[in-house]
């Protein structure tokens, strides 16, 4: 039986050049990794929430029209608030899942030069992005303390990063 000659192992710099958006955490690269600062992460999250809120307001206004009658009846107002919150939550989860799952970046993260990857390196994918999107609610549950953990974490990870096994890096 003939055996094929084995190819030489690729050099780490060749691997990085072949796939610039996927970072493998090799000892050579570990010293060059820069975790995104809390300020950059907060700013990106704020911009993304503005986009989702604008979308929610637009859809609410377009579908409900004149809602002034709801303000006269508390039960109708409560139902309207629940409806808008549900729409906003669905838009939030959808936006963060699709954008982060496809490229590792939301619009805010792109503008601030940061990217979400797996903790061990590699693209996050849609399933992990969905878990991360749901985990935002855990991070924000008690006065957003889960987000503040990124200040004290060695890898600048918030609670939703720990749950989903991701890190946020500055793109060079």
**Torsion angle of C-alpha atoms 42, 48, 51, 57, degrees rounded to 10:** -70
Residue 98 lies in a domain: yes
Residue 21 resides in a domain: no
Is 8 inside any structural domain?
no
Q: Residue 137 falls within a domain, yes or no?
A: yes
Residue 131: inside a domain: yes
Q: Which residues of the chain have pLDDT under 50?
A: 1, 3-7, 9-22, 25-28
pTM of this structure: 0.77
**What are the angstrom distances between the C-alpha of 145 and each of 97, 138, 141, 163?**
22, 9, 8, 15
pLDDT tens for each residue of 133-143 = 999 999 999 88
**What per-residue confidence (pLDDT) applies to 79?**
83
The range of the structural domain enclosing residue 121 comes to: 34-170
State the pLDDT at residue 76: 75
In a domain, 127, yes or no: yes
Q: Quick check: is 28 in a domain?
A: no
DSSP 165: T
**pLDDT for 102-115, tens place per residue?**
999 999 999 999 99
| The pLDDT of residue 88 | 94
Q: In whole angstroms, what is the distance from residue 92 CA to residue 95 CA?
A: 5
- pLDDT, residue 14, reads 46
The CA–CA distances, whole Å, from 73 to 2, 49, 76, 81, 150 equal 83, 29, 5, 12, 43
Q: What is the C-alpha separation between 139 and 159, in angstroms, rounded?
A: 5
Q: Report if residue 15 sits inside a domain.
A: no
Query: What pLDDT was estimated at residue 69?
Result: 64
Q: How many domains does the chain have?
A: 1
């Amino acid at each position: 039986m003939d055996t094929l000659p084995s190819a030489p192992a690729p050099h780490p710099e060749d691997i990085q050049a072949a796939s610039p958006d996927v970072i493998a955490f090799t000892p050579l690269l570990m010293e060059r990794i820069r975790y995104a600062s809390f300020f950059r992460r907060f700013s990106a999250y704020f911009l993304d929430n503005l986009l989702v809120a604008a979308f929610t307001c637009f859809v609410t206004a377009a579908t409900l029209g004149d809602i002034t009658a709801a303000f006269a009846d508390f039960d109708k107002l409560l139902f309207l608030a629940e409806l808008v919150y549900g729409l906003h939550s669905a838009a939030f989860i959808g936006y963060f899942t699709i954008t982060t799952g496809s490229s590792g970046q939301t619009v805010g993260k792109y503008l601030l030069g940061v990217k979400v990857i797996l903790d061990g390196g590699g693209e996050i994918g849609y399933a992990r992005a969905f878990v991360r999107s749901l985990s935002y609610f855990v991070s924000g549950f008690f006065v957003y303390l889960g987000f503040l953990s990124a200040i004290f974490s060695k890898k600048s990870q918030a609670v939703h990063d720990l749950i989903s096994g991701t890190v946020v890096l500055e793109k060079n």
